[in-house]
Protein backbone atom coordinates (compact mmCIF):
# COMPACT_ATOMS: atom_id res chain seq x y z
CA UNK A 1 0.00 0.00 0.00
CA UNK A 2 1.33 3.40 -0.97
CA UNK A 3 1.34 6.31 1.40
CA UNK A 4 1.29 9.94 0.52
CA UNK A 5 4.33 11.57 2.04
CA UNK A 6 4.17 15.29 2.60
CA UNK A 7 7.51 17.01 2.58
CA UNK A 8 8.29 20.34 4.10
CA UNK A 9 10.53 21.12 1.14
CA UNK A 10 8.79 22.78 -1.75
CA UNK A 11 9.75 22.29 -5.35
CA UNK A 12 12.42 24.79 -6.13
CA UNK A 13 11.65 27.01 -9.11
CA UNK A 14 14.31 27.73 -11.69
CA UNK A 15 16.09 31.01 -11.25
CA UNK A 16 15.65 33.52 -14.07
CA UNK A 17 17.10 37.02 -13.75
CA UNK A 18 15.36 37.99 -16.99
CA UNK A 19 11.92 36.95 -15.74
CA UNK A 20 12.52 38.55 -12.36
CA UNK A 21 13.24 41.87 -14.07
CA UNK A 22 9.87 41.89 -15.88
CA UNK A 23 6.49 42.98 -14.63
CA UNK A 24 3.99 40.19 -13.94
CA UNK A 25 2.15 40.48 -17.27
CA UNK A 26 5.31 40.34 -19.39
CA UNK A 27 6.77 37.56 -17.23
CA UNK A 28 3.69 35.38 -17.79
CA UNK A 29 3.76 36.13 -21.51
CA UNK A 30 7.43 35.13 -21.85
CA UNK A 31 6.96 31.95 -19.78
CA UNK A 32 3.87 30.93 -21.76
CA UNK A 33 5.53 31.61 -25.12
CA UNK A 34 8.64 29.68 -24.07
CA UNK A 35 6.50 26.74 -23.00
CA UNK A 36 4.47 26.85 -26.22
CA UNK A 37 7.62 26.95 -28.37
CA UNK A 38 9.12 23.84 -26.73
CA UNK A 39 9.69 21.12 -29.36
CA UNK A 40 7.14 18.32 -29.32
CA UNK A 41 7.04 14.80 -30.69
CA UNK A 42 4.51 15.92 -33.33
CA UNK A 43 7.02 18.00 -35.31
CA UNK A 44 7.36 15.57 -38.26
CA UNK A 45 4.12 13.66 -37.85
CA UNK A 46 2.46 15.20 -40.91
CA UNK A 47 5.30 14.04 -43.15
CA UNK A 48 5.06 10.54 -41.72
CA UNK A 49 1.31 10.45 -42.32
CA UNK A 50 1.84 11.66 -45.87
CA UNK A 51 4.23 8.75 -46.40
CA UNK A 52 1.61 6.32 -45.12
CA UNK A 53 -0.93 7.79 -47.55
CA UNK A 54 1.53 7.45 -50.44
CA UNK A 55 2.22 3.81 -49.54
CA UNK A 56 -1.49 3.08 -49.24
CA UNK A 57 -2.25 4.60 -52.64
CA UNK A 58 0.68 2.79 -54.28
CA UNK A 59 -0.89 -0.52 -53.24
CA UNK A 60 -4.13 0.17 -55.12
CA UNK A 61 -4.70 -1.88 -58.27
CA UNK A 62 -5.38 1.05 -60.61
CA UNK A 63 -1.97 2.54 -59.83
CA UNK A 64 -0.10 -0.75 -60.22
CA UNK A 65 -1.52 -1.25 -63.71
CA UNK A 66 -0.74 2.29 -64.96
CA UNK A 67 2.96 2.81 -65.78
CA UNK A 68 2.62 6.63 -65.79
CA UNK A 69 1.02 6.51 -62.35
CA UNK A 70 3.75 4.21 -61.02
CA UNK A 71 6.42 6.71 -62.16
CA UNK A 72 4.45 9.60 -60.72
CA UNK A 73 4.13 7.91 -57.34
CA UNK A 74 7.82 7.04 -57.35
CA UNK A 75 8.56 10.74 -57.82
CA UNK A 76 6.09 11.71 -55.08
CA UNK A 77 7.61 9.12 -52.73
CA UNK A 78 11.13 10.44 -53.37
CA UNK A 79 10.00 14.02 -52.71
CA UNK A 80 8.40 12.91 -49.45
CA UNK A 81 11.64 11.19 -48.37
CA UNK A 82 13.53 14.40 -49.15
CA UNK A 83 11.03 16.36 -47.04
CA UNK A 84 11.44 13.88 -44.17
CA UNK A 85 15.22 14.33 -44.28
CA UNK A 86 14.84 18.10 -44.35
CA UNK A 87 12.27 17.93 -41.56
CA UNK A 88 14.69 15.95 -39.40
CA UNK A 89 17.45 18.45 -40.03
CA UNK A 90 15.12 21.36 -39.26
CA UNK A 91 13.94 19.61 -36.09
CA UNK A 92 17.50 19.35 -34.80
CA UNK A 93 18.18 22.99 -35.62
CA UNK A 94 14.89 24.03 -33.96
CA UNK A 95 15.77 22.11 -30.79
CA UNK A 96 19.22 23.70 -30.69
CA UNK A 97 17.82 27.22 -31.06
CA UNK A 98 15.13 26.51 -28.47
CA UNK A 99 17.73 25.29 -25.93
CA UNK A 100 19.84 28.39 -26.55
CA UNK A 101 16.85 30.68 -26.00
CA UNK A 102 15.76 28.76 -22.91
CA UNK A 103 19.25 29.07 -21.44
CA UNK A 104 19.01 32.83 -21.89
CA UNK A 105 15.78 32.90 -19.89
CA UNK A 106 16.89 30.22 -17.39
CA UNK A 107 20.69 30.36 -17.25
CA UNK A 108 22.40 27.25 -15.93
CA UNK A 109 24.16 27.61 -12.62
CA UNK A 110 27.02 25.51 -11.39
CA UNK A 111 25.58 22.39 -9.79
CA UNK A 112 22.23 22.48 -11.59
CA UNK A 113 20.67 19.07 -12.06
CA UNK A 114 18.92 19.91 -15.32
CA UNK A 115 19.88 17.48 -18.04
CA UNK A 116 19.49 19.77 -21.02
> Looking at 1-116, which runs of residues are DSSP E strands?
none
How would you write the pLDDT of the chain (116 residues) with one tens digit per residue?
344 444 555 556 677 888 888 889 988 888 888 888 888 878 777 777 888 898 888 888 778 888 898 899 899 999 988 988 898 899 899 999 999 999 999 988 766 555 54
Q: State the Cα–Cα distance between residues 30 and 97, nearest whole angstrom.
A: 16
Q: How far apart are CA 112 and CA 59, in angstroms?
A: 53
- Work out the end-to-end distance of the chain between its first and last CA atoms, rounded to an integer number of angstroms: 35
Please state the separation of Cα 66 from the chain's center in Å.
39
DSSP state of 15: P
Task: Name the pTM for this structure.
Answer: 0.65
Smallest CA-to-CA distance from 18 within 82, 106, 85 is with 106
Amino acid sequence: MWELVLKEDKIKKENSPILESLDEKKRKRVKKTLQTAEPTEYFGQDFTQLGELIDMLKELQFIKSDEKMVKRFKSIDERNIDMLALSSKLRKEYELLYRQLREIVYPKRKGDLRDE
